[in-house]
Amino acid sequence: MISIIKADGRTELEFLSKVEERNRSTNDNVAAVVKDIIENVRVNGDKAVREYTIRFDGKAPECFEVSREEIDAAVSKCDPDFIETLKKAAANIRDFHQRQKQQSWLNTKENGVILGQRIRGLARVGLYVPGGTAAYPSSVLMNAIPAKIAGVRELVMVTPPTKDGSPNPDIMAAASIAGVDRVFLMGGAQAVAALAFGTESVPRVDKIVGPGNIFVATAKKLLYGVVDIDMIAGPSEILILADESAKPEYLAADLMSQAEHDRLASAVLVTTSQRLADDTVRELERQVQYLARKEIIEESLTNYGVIIVCDTMDKAVEMANGLAPEHLEVCCKEPLEYIGRLDNAGSVFLGNYSPEPLGDYFAGPNHVLPTSGTARFFSPLSVDSFVKKSSFIYYTNEALEKDKDDIIRFANTEGLTAHANSIIVRFEDKK
């Protein structure tokens, strides 16, 4: 089900290259279909969305927008204990992200010059939330809460209807708790296009965030530039660093918690202990037998899972930084010692009692993380993802006169004489 390899500078690199390759594959057929959907929605608006909703979801609601009364009615169907869990998770997420909020600032210099930066939330953001069997209320919280903290004025959510055309109650509950302003029952590439262009019923947004299937991801990719997007997410992944103190039953459970997401998900254990590697394989074989997504887990671990045995933890850390995983667990005797050495990871989970699902649902940090090695240069979704920044400059006559010769020299060096002239004309009458 999962292979064990000894790091020798070649074998592990061949495997990691295979993992990276899965992210480079593109489906031209999907892209062609999505392009047609996008163009149809751009031209025909709600009519096109309704046709696709009937075709793909079986039934379209009479009105795409879900009223506040309908949301409340859906929420009333939820398990009250789950509602309380949502509220606790939301409080943790809100507390963490509130600390990310930045303030506008200005700096007044002695010569009268004023420089500054204005920070404000985007006007309108669209949130895509999968429905059906892949309904994730946690994604609503993780996307909506930082957006509201950032000051987004209107948060518009789209989510596919259930088979009978009604909204998913758990998704509605999360939307209500997170402060989503408007909800529309539509999904797929057509919903993404509706957000990007606007239709008769759906307002046009400035940015689209949230997970989805290959059609949703492709639509977001193709519409980037028409609107901003959060990121182009690849299959989920986890890398666990473990020394001889780690518990194999924990390691096996955590590897499978990612493998169950997708047949293309990647689960990697890097350890210095051959004994731990062998024991973890036995635990995987034991635990997988009673898990609901057994077949997906086994295929994922067979194709994209591996246990790599390294000579030293230094080598293991180097490997982790090179792979730049979405989730990075540190199951070592002294996990805090590694914080300053792990530079490339979406989110880092420290110690035996900080498993990855803690971050997915409850702890507070965002679970929308860079995948496919992009943690080398991308960051998790945050309050910053929902703001825009503008600088401002105020110079007095005297301050500009003092700097004019340097600015003119710069402009002339670049051959932009009109730039230079913009400065010159302001002082010609003073000659």
Catalytic residue among 97, 237, 261, 327: 327
Nearest to 84 by CA among 381, 362, 371: 362
Amino acid at 402: K
Amino acid at 31: A
Tell me how far apart the alpha carbons of residues 20 and 102 are, in angstroms, rounded to a whole number.
35
Tell me how far apart the alpha carbons of residues 410 and 406 are, in angstroms, rounded to a whole number.
6
Q: Which residues contact 334 (CB under 8 A, 6 or more apart)?
A: none
Per-residue tokens: 369: 């993380």
CA distances from 427 to 397, 400, 413, 421, 430 (A): 9, 10, 20, 10, 5
Which helix H or strand E contains 189, and what residues bound it?
helix 188-197
* Residue 298 annotated among the catalytic residues of the structure: no
Q: Write the DSSP symbol of residue 155.
A: E
Catalytic residue among 326, 329, 356, 367: 326
Which helix H or strand E contains 360, and what residues bound it?
helix 356-361
Q: Enumerate the β-bridge partners of residue 305.
A: 267
Per-residue tokens: 19: 């993992």
Tell me how far apart the alpha carbons of residues 170 and 78 are, in angstroms, rounded to a whole number.
6
Amino acid at 100: Q
Contact 241, 317 (CB under 8 A): yes
Tell me how far apart the alpha carbons of residues 411 and 250 are, in angstroms, rounded to a whole number.
62
Tell me how far apart the alpha carbons of residues 156 and 66 are, in angstroms, rounded to a whole number.
11
Over its C-alpha atoms, the chain yields an Rg (Å, rounded) of 26
- DSSP calls for 12-68: HHHHHHHHHHTTT---HHHHHHHHHHHHHHHHHTHHHHHHHHHHHHS---SSSEEPH
Contact 387, 151 (CB under 8 A): yes
Per-residue tokens: 202: 């759906």
* Residue 97 annotated among the catalytic residues of the structure: no
Q: Which residues contact 348 (CB under 8 A, 6 or more apart)?
A: 328, 329, 330, 339, 342
Amino acid at 284: L
Three-state DSSP at 183 gives: strand
State the catalytic residues. Answer: 326-327
